[in-house]
């Protein structure tokens, strides 16, 4: 932190009630110039609500906000903007049809001043240049064509152009690959150095420790600890503060072997363009399969295809051993599928129905006669309510909207289970759900699986995905990438696998440089268990080749089998007279992020020292020091 600090923002006793539910309870918070301040907490702890209060999107019920030493009472986002507070939200708020520069200067349109177009263009260009992306983002392009990472930068540029000194970043890395995140962090560093105050909303521990100066921890809407210095904390302390108790071991659960159980849901080469391109996966009876993908990967669209909400263009689905081609959700329900949609408010809750009738909605759809027969489900509803820990008395409340997120979700899980489905598709089951209810839902889902229900779990929370699933099927750009046992992969590796293809630009540049320089084939590979994943490859040689990108093949069949088996970091002789070299890549914290695999043509030999040197140098150029080569030697550990 730079020395002379000025307090930019203080929040004192901020509370926000939605009906009878308090999303924020007396939050204390302070932001100084030249610092990055983390708002940390579990999903539903109130981080985003606090961010929205600070930037004037919602008005607090109680408490005072002071910005730049003056009481700040924002009635609308514009007020906060004028006061110098900007926010970058998770879902970007860009106008897709407008060009980059128009988006950057958009707030000007809302004000009285009318600068000329050339002035506005220059403002936009300067803002992009200040972030260090001058050559990379063309300000005349339409925002629709930009990658998620670039869109975010455009939003930041908008705030920079406005001259905001307080910048809120709400889960900015949720949709980014590790490389893209790293570049974002550089931008954040630069903004901090300019003396701005950044509020960084996140639930990712590594990012918080790497980036922030101070932390405020929220739990169930209250600030448990305010303005702690990050450097004084350890990870376990932080987790402890977040959940308020020792975290239960997340995956001590013995993963049952379900490989012999019948396959309940099988997708083969499913296509529903443009979002779902090529998806194949199996879910066995009693198995929880996690579909891991970033925002925009096609995971929710896949769920919609399974429900018959999107047309299946090609491929086969088998449900409970029968061919399955749903044309609407009712078909899906009757065929034995239960579904929990992602967006409760938009896709699930019927606001004018009582809690009980909301639960009965799935029952209503499969009635063949005209009579309601609501009573026939009472016993089952009570039973499920007891199992999931929802007070029976609350079932007769007149509106589901007065429930907390966790209770709403419990009621909706009951709805999904009411018709006794054999296959359950859950889209973000713990989004906006408090920690307590979350644990209950986890336990409940495990119990369902143990009773033989096949569960397809979709979640952008990779920690949850890895903890709950038995197997992970990564999905990226609408294509599934094989399958990985949950215990053999960590969050960072999964993020890397799931990163959209466009994020591999850097890696491709690095690999093709190596391939050209040494006349070899170069690829970025990862191993998970006995399986090999090739993320991307460049160059070609005669003879055997590295696996096609995206495919997971058994490691022993790969062209670099010997290298993988020995993994010494030295040149190995492969079948067909080819030679191979594996160089392990690690991030700054020493976690393996895959390897660069080099494969020579038949009869040609490799010069390991020269290649290593070139690779190390390229890495420092292309990955900007975020990744490096792990030291080679006979002691090199296998990743994972």
Q: Which of 87, 161, 289, 332 binds another protein (CB under 8 A)?
A: 332
Q: Which of 248, 352, 383, 505 binds another protein (CB under 8 A)?
A: 352
Nearest residue (CB) to another protein, 227 versus 354: 354
Q: Which of 252, 351, 590, 633 binds another protein (CB under 8 A)?
A: 351
Reference 167, options 177, 180, 179, 152; nearest CA is 152
CB 283 within 8 A of CB 331: no
Nearest residue (CB) to another protein, 247 versus 367: 367
How far is 564 from 48, CA to CA, in rounded Å? 45
Reference 156, options 174, 144, 168, 140; nearest CA is 168
Nearest residue (CB) to another protein, 42 versus 458: 458
How far is 297 from 512, CA to CA, in rounded Å? 26
How far is 429 from 344, CA to CA, in rounded Å? 10
Q: Is 348 in the site for another protein (CB under 8 A)?
A: yes
Nearest residue (CB) to another protein, 362 versus 493: 362
Whether omega before 274 lies within 30 degrees of 0, making that bond cis, reads yes
CB of 333 to another protein, least distance (A): 4
Give the strands of the sheet with 197-202, arranged side by side.
85-88, 166-170, 197-202, 35-40, 214-219, 222-229
CB of 286 to another protein, least distance (A): 25
CB 560 within 8 A of CB 582: yes
Which residues are CB-contacts of 375 (< 8 A; sequence separation ≥ 6)?
A: none
Burial of 404 (0-12, 13-18, 19+ CB in 10 A): buried
What is the token pair recorded at 259?
């490989």
Q: Is 175 in the site for another protein (CB under 8 A)?
A: no
CB of 301 to another protein, least distance (A): 14
End-to-end Cα spacing for the chain: 37
Nearest residue (CB) to another protein, 412 versus 448: 412
CB of 337 to another protein, least distance (A): 10
CB of 411 to another protein, least distance (A): 13
CB of 304 to another protein, least distance (A): 9
CB 474 within 8 A of CB 441: no
For the chain, what's the residue count? 640
Q: Which of 330, 380, 604, 628 binds another protein (CB under 8 A)?
A: 330
β-pair partners for 476? 479
Nearest residue (CB) to another protein, 51 versus 349: 349
Q: Which of 347, 450, 588, 640 binds another protein (CB under 8 A)?
A: 347
CB of 353 to another protein, least distance (A): 7
Subset of 295-314 contacting another protein (CB under 8 A): 307, 309
Nearest residue (CB) to another protein, 112 versus 370: 370
In the numeric block, the tokens 């979640």 are attached to 459
Subset of 382-441 contacting another protein (CB under 8 A): 396, 398-399, 415
Q: Which of 341, 405, 406, 539 binds another protein (CB under 8 A)?
A: 341
Q: Is 18 in the site for another protein (CB under 8 A)?
A: no
In sign, the C-alpha dihedral spanning 55, 59, 63, 69 is positive
Nearest residue (CB) to another protein, 426 versus 581: 426
CB of 332 to another protein, least distance (A): 7
CB of 561 to another protein, least distance (A): 47
| 3 state SS of 497 | helix
Nearest residue (CB) to another protein, 205 versus 419: 419
Q: How many C-beta neighbours within 10 Å does residue 162 have?
A: 21
- Of 137-145, 230-238, 348-356, 554-562, the window that binds another protein (rule: CB under 8 A) is 348-356
x/- string (CB under 8 A) for another protein, residues 355-384? -xx---xx-xxxx-xxxx-xx--x------
Reference 11, options 227, 156, 177; nearest CA is 227
CB of 520 to another protein, least distance (A): 51
Nearest residue (CB) to another protein, 378 versus 588: 378
Nearest residue (CB) to another protein, 319 versus 510: 319
Which residues are CB-contacts of 492 (< 8 A; sequence separation ≥ 6)?
A: 178, 206, 587, 591, 593
Nearest residue (CB) to another protein, 113 versus 379: 379
CB of 432 to another protein, least distance (A): 16
Residue 248 is given by DSSP the state P
**Kind of pairing between the strands at 484-485 and 592-599:** unpaired
| Integer angstrom CA distances of residue 3 from 352, 589, 629 | 56, 28, 36
Count of residues touching another protein (by CB under 8 A): 39
Which residues are CB-contacts of 8 (< 8 A; sequence separation ≥ 6)?
A: 31, 32, 33, 67, 68, 165, 166, 197
Binding region for another protein (CB under 8 A): 307, 309, 328-330, 332-334, 339, 341, 345-354, 356-357, 361-362, 364-367, 369-372, 374-375, 378, 396, 398-399, 415
């Amino acid at each position: 932190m730079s020395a002379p600090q000025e307090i930019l923002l203080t929040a004192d006793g901020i509370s926000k009630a939605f009906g009878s539910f308090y999303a924020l309870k007396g939050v204390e918070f302070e932001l100084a110039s030249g610092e990055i301040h983390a708002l940390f907490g579990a999903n539903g702890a109130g981080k985003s609500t606090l961010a929205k209060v600070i930037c004037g999107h919602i008005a607090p019920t109680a408490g005072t906000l002071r910005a730049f030493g003056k009481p700040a009472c924002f009635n609308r986002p514009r007020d906060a903007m004028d006061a110098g507070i900007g926010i970058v939200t998770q879902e970007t708020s860009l106008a897709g049809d407008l060009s980059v520069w128009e988006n950057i200067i958009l707030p000007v349109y809302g004000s009285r001043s009318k600068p000329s177009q050339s002035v506005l263009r220059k403002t936009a260009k300067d803002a992009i240049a200040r972030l260090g992306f001058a050559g990379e983002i063309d300000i005349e392009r339409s925002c629709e064509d930009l990658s998620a990472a670039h869109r975010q930068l455009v939003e930041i540029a908008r705030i920079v152009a406005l001259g905001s000194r307080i910048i809120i970043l709400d889960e900015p890395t949720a949709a980014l690959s590790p490389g893209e995140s790293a570049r974002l962090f550089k931008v954040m560093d630069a903004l901090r150095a300019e003396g701005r105050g950044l509020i960084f909303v996140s639930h990712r521990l590594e990012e918080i420790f790497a980036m922030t100066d101070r932390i405020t921890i929220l739990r169930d809407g209250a600030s448990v600890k305010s303005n702690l210095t990050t450097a004084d904390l350890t990870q376990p302390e932080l987790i402890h503060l977040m959940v308020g108790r020792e975290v239960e071991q997340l995956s001590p659960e013995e993963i049952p072997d379900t490989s012999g159980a019948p396959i309940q849901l099988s997708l083969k080469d499913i296509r529903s363009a443009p979002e779902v391109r090529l998806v194949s996966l199996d879910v066995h009876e009693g198995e929880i399969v996690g579909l891991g993908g970033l925002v925009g990967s096609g995971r929710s669209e896949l769920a919609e295809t399974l429900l018959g909400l999107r047309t299946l263009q090609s491929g086969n689905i088998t449900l409970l051993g029968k061919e399955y081609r749903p044309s609407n959700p009712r078909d899906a329900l009757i065929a034995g599928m239960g579904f929990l949609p992602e967006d409760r408010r938009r896709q699930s809750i019927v606001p004018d129905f009582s809690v009980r009738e909301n639960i009965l909605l799935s029952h209503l759809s499969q009635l063949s006669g005209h009579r309601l027969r609501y009573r026939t489900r009472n016993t089952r509803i009570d039973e499920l309510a007891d199992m999931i820990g929802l007070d029976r008395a609350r079932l007769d409340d007149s509106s589901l909207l007065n429930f907390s997120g966790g209770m709403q979700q419990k009621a909706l899980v009951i709805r999904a289970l009411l018709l006794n489905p054999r296959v359950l598709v859950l889209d973000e089951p713990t989004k906006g759900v408090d920690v307590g209810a979350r644990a209950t839902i986890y336990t409940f889902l495990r119990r369902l699986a143990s009773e033989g229900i096949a569960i397809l779990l979709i979640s952008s929370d990779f920690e949850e995905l890895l903890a709950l699933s038995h197997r992970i099927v990564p999905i990226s750009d609408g294509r599934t990438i094989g399958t990985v046992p949950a215990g053999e992969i960590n969050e960072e590796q999964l993020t890397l696998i799931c990163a959209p293809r466009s994020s591999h630009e850097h890696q491709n540049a690095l690999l093709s440089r190596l391939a050209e320089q040494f006349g070899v084939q170069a690829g970025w590979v990862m191993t998970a268990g006995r399986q090999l994943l090739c993320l991307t490859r460049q160059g070609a040689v005669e003879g055997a080749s590295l696996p096609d990108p995206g495919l997971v093949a058994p490691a022993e069949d790969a062209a670099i089998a010997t290298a993988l088996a020995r993994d010494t970091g030295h040149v190995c002789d492969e079948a067909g007279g080819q030679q191979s070299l594996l160089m392990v890549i690690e991030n700054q914290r020493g976690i393996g992020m895959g390897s660069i695999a080099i494969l020579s043509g038949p009869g040609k030999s490799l010069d390991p020292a020269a290649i290593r040197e070139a690779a190390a140098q390229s890495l420092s150029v292309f990955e900007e020091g975020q990744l490096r080569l792990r030291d080679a030697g006979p002691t090199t550990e296998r990743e994972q």
